[in-house]
Amino acid sequence: MSVFDNDVKSWEHLAQTDPLWAVLSSDEFRGGALTPEAEDRFWRSGEEHVAHVISVIRNEITPDFEPGVSLDFGCGVGRNLVPLAERSRDAVGLDASSTMVKRSEARAEECGAANAHALVIDRTIDAEAVAQWGPVDFVHSVLVFQHIVAAEGFELFDQLLDVLAPGGHGFVQFHCHDPGGEFVRAIRELRLRHRWFNSLVVRSRLRPLTDSLVMLYEYDVLELLGHLAAHRIADVVLERTEAGPGGYDVRLYFAKFAGSDAEFDRSGRPMKLRVRP
């Protein structure tokens, strides 16, 4: 079984055993210990996240940004899907785990969000299935690509950017790495080569995951920008947040060029990039 398939299997297992904790690995969200207050904090974190993302896009890129069809790649239990639905005509969640998709649907029903939908995906984003709600003008993904081995993750990222309509907007988060010194590079090489060693490192950094281990993968930020440029992304705001020793997260807010490929070429393929402090 490939690393990718193995990871997807781990997610399905976590979705069945401890889904909220699988999404936010803080002890208060463990099934056995979950209080109503903690559950409330869990759902509120999605609400606050989505409100923040939309406000950054409005403040930094497009003041009157209003998503029509939002796509949440790796929607999990619907933490962000329902807040997205509240701000969009339709919101569509995609997830590799069928149990996560069922949980998202249940959450949408519980909140009366009839415009929230969720689909199981295999290794590819089915553009036709997504198109049933109309052109996608907002793509969103948080805490997902970091769990997908980079080669497959970049393919999925390309598909997500392909699905985005001209003039559409996006938010994605990736985990990146500092090149570090010789020691850090040696550890990194070992992690890439030996799955058991990577597991050990992830355990020590993230706290042990009891019965299954979800890997943490790193992406190269220049490569990410290259993928954005190749998909006519003309406006990018980049935020860096620290994520433990030797690593950081990159959060990308962006807008796609509103015209055609030819118009983009004629205009010199511009990409405006700002780094948020």
Ligand X SMILES: C[S@@+](CC[C@H](N)C(=O)[O-])C[C@H]1O[C@@H](n2cnc3c(N)ncnc32)[C@H](O)[C@@H]1O
| Residue 129 touches ligand X, criterion: CB under 6 A | no
**Residue with the CB atom nearest ligand X in the bound state:** 76
Nearest approach, Cβ of 164 to ligand X (angstroms)?
17
Contact string 2-21 vs ligand X (x = CB under 6 A): ------x--x----------
| Residue 54 touches ligand X, criterion: CB under 6 A | no
What is the bridge-based pairing of β-strands 69-73 and 90-95? parallel
Sheet holding 272-276, edge to edge: 116-120, 90-95, 69-73, 136-141, 164-177, 247-256, 233-242, 272-276
Nearest approach, Cβ of 119 to ligand X (angstroms)?
10
Contact string 76-95 vs ligand X (x = CB under 6 A): x--xx--------------x
Question: CA 82 to CA 222: how far, in whole Å?
Answer: 32
Residue by residue, what is the 3-state secondary structure of 92-119? EEEECCHHHHHHHHHHHHHCCCCCEEEE
Nearer to ligand X, 122 or 182 (CB): 122
- Site residues for ligand X, 132-161, by CB under 6 A, read 142-144, 147-148
Nearest approach, Cβ of 248 to ligand X (angstroms)?
18
Nearer to ligand X, 54 or 148 (CB): 148
- Nearest residue to 172 via CA among 253, 84, 79: 253
Instruction: Identify which range of 72-80, 233-241, 243-251, 267-275 contacts ligand X by CB under 6 A.
Output: 72-80
| From candidates 18, 20, 23, 215, binder to ligand X by CB under 6 A | 23
| From candidates 121, 213, 243, 255, binder to ligand X by CB under 6 A | 121
| From candidates 96, 119, 136, 252, binder to ligand X by CB under 6 A | 96
Nearest approach, Cβ of 121 to ligand X (angstroms)?
6
Question: CA 134 to CA 131: how far, in whole Å?
Answer: 5
Question: CA 205 to CA 146: how far, in whole Å?
Answer: 14
Cβ 224 vs Cβ 252: under 8 Å: yes
| From candidates 57, 71, 85, 100, binder to ligand X by CB under 6 A | 100
Nearest approach, Cβ of 29 to ligand X (angstroms)?
11
| From candidates 18, 53, 70, 74, binder to ligand X by CB under 6 A | 74
Which residues contact residue 200 at a Cβ distance below 8 angstroms, ignoring those fewer than 6 apart? Answer: none
Nearer to ligand X, 15 or 225 (CB): 15
Question: CA 51 to CA 140: how far, in whole Å?
Answer: 13
Report the b/e string of 27-50 with b at 16+ CB within 10 A. eebeeeebeeeeeeebbebbeebb
> What's at 200, amino acid-wise?
L
Which residues contact residue 216 at a Cβ distance below 8 angstroms, ignoring those fewer than 6 apart? Answer: 146, 147, 175, 202, 205, 206
Interface residues toward ligand X, by CB under 6 A: 8, 11, 23, 74-76, 79-80, 95-97, 100, 121, 142-144, 147-148
